[in-house]
Amino acid sequence: MTKHKKLQSWIRECAELCKPDKIVWCDGSEEEKARLEKEAFKSGELIQLNKKKLPGCVYHHTSVNDVARTEHLTYICAKNKRDAGPTNNWLAPHEGYRRASEIFKNSMRGRTMYVIPFSMGPVGSPFSKIGVELTDSIYVVLNMRIMARMGKVVLDLLEKTRGDFTKCLHSKADLDVNRRLILHFPEDNAIWSVGSGYGGNVLLGKKCLSLRIGSYLGEKEGWLAEHMLIMGVEDPSGRVDYIAAAFPSACGKTNLAMLLPPEGLKRKGYRIWTVGDDIAWMRIDTDGKLWAVNPEYGLFGVAPGTNSKTNPNLIKAIEKNTIYTNVLLKKDKTVWWEGGDGVVPKDGTNWQGNPWRPGELDENREPILGAHPNSRFTVPILNVPSVTNRIDHHHGVPIAAIIFGGRRAHLAPLVYESFNWQHGVFVGATMASERTAAQVGKQGEVRRDPMAMLPFCGYNMGDYFKHWLALGKKMTPPPKIFNVNWFRKDNGDFLWPGFGENLRVLEWIISRCKNEVEGVKTPIGYLPHENDIDMTGLRSPREHMRKLLAINHKDWREEAESIGEFFNSFGKDLPKEMKHELNALEKRLR
């Protein structure tokens, strides 16, 4: 048990509700890992992968109806509906507890309740937050071992400081989508997740604590919890500039965070240092600058499309000590996914657990996939060859530039810089991605995703914009804010090669931060001169750069109109500065 009174009584309460057969405290030791794996191999929850080819790696299937975050079942349970805001599902806290209690009740009969003390951020750092997750899933324990610092060190700290912690309760219950709820109680510092076994719903340190509860705490305590990668760009003199960047899902955050400099720029001797690929916690330090830590300790990355070309660093990282979920399992107990390395296997077991051969079609004559499009690997960040040596720094890293990005086939240029912090907040608040042909819905339709936080902001998004604006006034100076678009098209073809070549754009961004290069003033912000992006070694026609940087005033006027409609959805909660920025944009476009 524990000396921490509050922890003790909360665990007792949860055990009375869920009725586990036994309670096991996780200490984070190697012995514990081996014991849990052995048990999971025996029950079939995990499959041991080829020890020679994938040492320390294991395989897991989630149930077929449980393969992604369920945003429609995710709620912010604040006392006042207004505090959840127009972008979140809301339930009154008593109603949330009532509905979930019915599902949690007796859900752990015949099961073990594991107690996982964990720290988001380096243990003991003033940046960090402690959580305790109670779960009936060994898969969750093994994932949390990778994704967060956990175990005895965290419990010792919690007991020593008698500090507060986020109460995170999870049960798979019966994995029934009709009895699944992901509930956040920001005012109680609590998360209740029931009926799912999928990572984003059940690794409660990640989206639930580090973003939804984190953003709420950030507003109260004066810091930011963001859906951002953090990377360092080291120039040949050894200077490292750190960048934080927000992109909606499926826009290549993980690849950007660990890119390898492209051939054409190799001569310059750049190196990239990976700090994080998904979440940034940022604070103003005593120097008046913005500093960031990655609260996580691992990556929960999407497998399909990951290969030695798109992300060579990641391919090296996942060769060992990795948990693979919902990918194709090959006969030799290795794994494969669509868009992965190597030849397409002749057969295997697909993500649904069925025998699979390439080319087979389903009843709609669609190809049956080997790996689910959202299949994942969980890998320690220390496995990544480009990991920064500052990963455990209590302070994190100083942020020189913030980047927002979306997928826009037409409108947005390759890169532009906002005029100032307030304008930059407007650029982030109006971020959007277009639907591709692969998605259901009208092609080209725009989904607004402010700061890529639409599914993750744990409070009223109008207040969130206000918080960003207020922090900008406290920094001396605030980081510059940029927007990038790797996805602009011409006649259906991408104009920009993307991946490692994106370093060329980062180079311009950093030179703007150092005031080394002039920008071209346009109605939407500062753009590079056509020759200011180093294109050495790229065989891209010059007219491509012209098209990548073109601004079509008519399209932008339509964009301003659509932003106006989006802003209306916030009613009086929209800060007046956002409306001013929209009016100013409209004026500049006239």
The residue (of 120 and 538) whose beta carbon lies closer to ligand OXD is 120
CB of 201 to Mn ion, least distance (A): 13
Is 251 designated active site?
Answer: yes
Taken in order 409, 412, 416, 418, the sign of the CA dihedral is negative
Phi and psi angles of residue 10, each rounded to the nearest 5 degrees, phi first: -65, -40
Structure tokens at 133: 């997750």
Subset of 186-215 contacting Mn ion (CB under 5 A): none
Task: Please write down the HEC assignment for all residues of 104-151.
Answer: HCCCCCCCEEEEEEEEECCCCCCCCEEEEEEECCHHHHHHHHHHCEEC
CB of 278 to Mn ion, least distance (A): 4
> Which residues does the annotation place in the binding site for GTP?
250-255, 376, 407, 499-502
Compute CA distances 392 → 205, 292, 299, whole Å.
17, 12, 15
Choose the catalytic residue: 14, 251, 457, 513: 251
Q: CA angle, 486 as apex, 481 and 492 as ends, to 5°?
A: 145
Give the nearest residue (CB) to Mn ion: 278
The residue (of 247 and 526) whose beta carbon lies closer to ligand OXD is 247
69 binds, among ligand OXD, Mn ion, none (CB under 5 to 8 A by kind): ligand OXD
Give residues in contact with ligand OXD (CB under 6 A): 69, 200, 249, 278, 300
Cβ neighbour number for residue 61 with a 10 Å cutoff: 25
Contact indicator for 210, 239 with CB cutoff of 8 Å = no
With a CB cutoff of 8 Å and minimum separation 6, the contacts of 587 are none
Contact indicator for 56, 321 with CB cutoff of 8 Å = yes
CB of 133 to ligand OXD, least distance (A): 17
351 binds, among ligand OXD, Mn ion, none (CB under 5 to 8 A by kind): none
CB of 227 to Mn ion, least distance (A): 6
248 binds, among Mn ion, ligand OXD, none (CB under 5 to 8 A by kind): none
CB of 423 to ligand OXD, least distance (A): 26
Give the nearest residue (CB) to ligand OXD: 249
> How far is residue 349's CA from residue 47's CA, in Å, rounded to a whole number?
12
449 binds Mn ion (CB under 5 A): no
The residue (of 291 and 300) whose beta carbon lies closer to ligand OXD is 300
The residue (of 11 and 142) whose beta carbon lies closer to ligand OXD is 142
Q: Which stretch, 113-121, 273-281, 335-343, 439-447, contacts Mn ion (CB under 5 A)?
A: 273-281
200 binds, among Mn ion, ligand OXD, none (CB under 5 to 8 A by kind): ligand OXD
Strand partners, 150: 118
> Which residues does the annotation place in the binding site for Mn(2+)?
207, 227, 278
Number of residues that bind Mn ion (CB under 5 A): 1
> Which residues does the annotation place in the binding site for substrate?
69, 198-200, 249, 374-376
420 binds, among Mn ion, ligand OXD, none (CB under 5 to 8 A by kind): none
CA atoms within 13 A on the CB side of 191: 29
2 binds, among Mn ion, ligand OXD, none (CB under 5 to 8 A by kind): none
> Which residues does the annotation place in the binding site?
69, 198-200, 207, 227, 249-255, 278, 374-376, 407, 499-502
CB of 572 to ligand OXD, least distance (A): 30
The residue (of 246 and 560) whose beta carbon lies closer to Mn ion is 246
* Nearest alpha carbon to residue 199 among 143, 149, 251: 143
> How far is residue 181's CA from residue 202's CA, in Å, rounded to a whole number?
11
The residue (of 45 and 278) whose beta carbon lies closer to Mn ion is 278
* Nearest alpha carbon to residue 572 among 462, 423, 469: 462
Q: Which of 32, 45, 226, 278 binds Mn ion (CB under 5 A)?
A: 278
Exposure pattern of 400-436 as b/e (b: 16+ CB <10 Å)?
bbbbbbbbbbebbbbbbbbbebbbbbbbbbbbbbbbe
> How far is residue 279's CA from residue 244's CA, in Å, rounded to a whole number?
9
Q: Where on the chain is the footprint of Mn ion (CB under 5 A)?
A: 278
Residues annotated as catalytic (active site), given as ranges: 251
